Amino acid sequence: MEHLLRLDDRTVLWAEERGNPAGSPLLLIMGANASGVVWPEPLLDRLGARHRVIRYDHRDTGRSSRVFADRPYAVRDLAEDAVAVLDALGVDRAHVVGMSMGGVLVQLLLLDHPDRLLSATVFATAALGAGLAGPDGASGQLPGPDPELLAYWQTMGEERDAEAELAWRVEHWRRLAGTVLPFDAAEFRALEERVRAHGGGARGTVAHALADQSGLDRGRELEANRVPTLVIEAPEDPVNPPPHAAHLVATIGAARMVTIPGMGHALPTSVLDRLAEEIEAHTAGVDGRASA
């Protein structure tokens, strides 16, 4: 079931819920400049067998409102949008899963809205105050993104026709996916075609790259977290390479880590079964303890 959720006089968020309506709610939070459609359908189907799965489009992505040009916002405001989605759908508490910037938003939820979370799962992300989630994107003692990827990002906002934009995006996924697992360009071209059809346009957004990052240097506060948190290490991630995941586990209280070999900063079919297994085991354990 699809929804258009009004936040204020200018902002509407697209959201979708599917799966088991009697299951515990599970909110998926995607990364920067990416709509909820980037979550793969097989993963949604797998998680939907036991959960009421909710995904949504961030502001300036997909079918949600384009507002940044007139009303610039901060990254931390995007975390409040996640709470607004839960409120609008009548969800008191949910398991939350965040990828990349979505993982940063989940950490803000752990700090500011722990009462709304049953559990948290994050992957391909950095701890608050570190890496791209640090002051001005500083990496500090942790490795930064691959230099070739950083150079490629400099071309993100360039003018391209629709076909060239599609080719740019497929190549971007190839660079994000890492070099260990085979890369299926056709799979990611089909993904980008779905994203384009969903959003109704060929051009992507760079709004989240421009959003205010103040208020993210809060990593030390995470030590007090008591929400069960799973950190999934993607060892081939060129954005947040090891030891970012280990640092995140050391930063967040009540956290543990598992590794998915070969996984990078992308969700190819080859990692979906293992990813779903780890998320399901984590949420099932929390639900089981709650029932007991």
Residue positions annotated with a catalytic role: 100, 237, 265
| Angle value at C-alpha 247, between 33 and 209, nearest 5 degrees | 20
The runs of H, that is alpha helices, within the chain are 41-48, 75-88, 101-112, 147-153, 162-177, 185-199, 207-210, 244-251, 269-291
Element (H, E) at 8: none
Cβ 232 vs Cβ 275: under 8 Å: yes
Angle at 212 between CA 15 and CA 28, to 5 degrees: 25
Residue 13 is given by DSSP the state E
| Residue type (1 letter), 218 | R
Region of residue 153 (phi > 0: left; psi between -120 and 50: alpha; otherwise: beta): alpha
